[in-house]
Amino acid sequence: MTFHPFRVSRYVPLPPDAAILVAASGEHAVKSAGARDRFNERVACYRIGMMLLRRAHPGLAKTLEYVRDIAPDRAGLTPEEVRALLRGLPQRISRKAIRARLGPAAAGQLESVFASHADPGAYAVRAVMTYGAGEYERSRIAAGHLERHDLQAFGELMRLSHDGDRVAGRFHPDGERNPAPRGPLHRLIGAYGCSTRRIDRMVDIAQSVEGVYGAQLIGAGLGGCITVLAERSAAPRVRKALAREYYEPLGLAPAVWEVRAVSGGGLIVPR
């Protein structure tokens, strides 16, 4: 799928020997109060980041509307130049400093951005923008991996994507994490940080199971579900591992389903 405008560009079938599982964390992703502010603040980082880039690089201003527009295939930049743009963004910046950098001409647009959430004190603009740039590249190449039946490569994209959402585990939300300071942009991680400790635990358990290609948070985050891509024969092992290491210690009934694409939406009902 592509956006702005929305369209479905092609359909790519999942190889028949692969399975997709969805597992519920038991944490409700309630987008209200503090959770809503946290989610909207991340979205604001994207908007602020793009405004700062347009201000700092007037020669690119007409082509930079969305985060995707800084990608090499859209902006005519090299990967190194994209990384330089991201490094030029502030690691953390206050509302007062944002207003000072962008000037009075941006006041109306900024107030609209700020109105969606409580003041976090500082915005992690570079970390969020880096995550977004990496997600664009991962999304751009993902369908090709499926078409080639390269599920190992597709699973790596899932792992990288979730690492950018982590709040616990191998990475820490310091805004500078990135295992590949050079090389392909799909390995950019950044720090979006909309997972939870329990979701991170589920992902790590699933990814430790033999035959699993990748696992990650699904949806907007702050609770909800994970999705797992695995060999079909590994599906029972994933269920057992999550039941034993996640659900039982928390006193929760296991909630793991193997799913497939269908025409339209519907309800998933436990058996």
Does the pTM exceed 0.75?
A: yes
In a domain, 151, yes or no: yes
Residue 183 in this model has a pLDDT that exceeds 90: no
- 16 upstream amide cis, omega within 30 of 0: no
In a domain, 267, yes or no: no
> How far is CA 218 from its chain centroid?
9
% of the chain with per-residue pLDDT over 90: 75
SS3 155: helix
In a domain, 8, yes or no: no
**What average pLDDT does the segment 121-135 reach?**
96
Q: Are 114 and 51 in contact (CB under 8 A)?
A: no
Distance CA 233, CA 224 (A): 25
In a domain, 270, yes or no: no
Give the count of domains, the chain.
1
**What average pLDDT does the segment 139-159 reach?**
95
- For residue 57, the domain's CATH number is 3.30.70.890
In a domain, 4, yes or no: no
pLDDT, one tens digit per residue, over 47-78 is 999 999 999 999 999 899 999 999 998 888 99
Q: Are 228 and 238 in contact (CB under 8 A)?
A: yes
In a domain, 265, yes or no: no
In a domain, 6, yes or no: no
Distance CA 256, CA 226 (A): 10
Domain of 46 in residue numbering reads as 18-259
User: Which stretch of 19-23, 186-190, 237-241 has the lowest confidence by average pLDDT?
Assistant: 186-190
Per DSSP, 229 falls in state E
**What average pLDDT does the segment 5-20 reach?**
90
For the beta sheet containing 225-231, the strands, ordered from the edge strand earlier in sequence to the opposite edge, are 212-218, 225-231, 18-24, 256-259
In a domain, 65, yes or no: yes
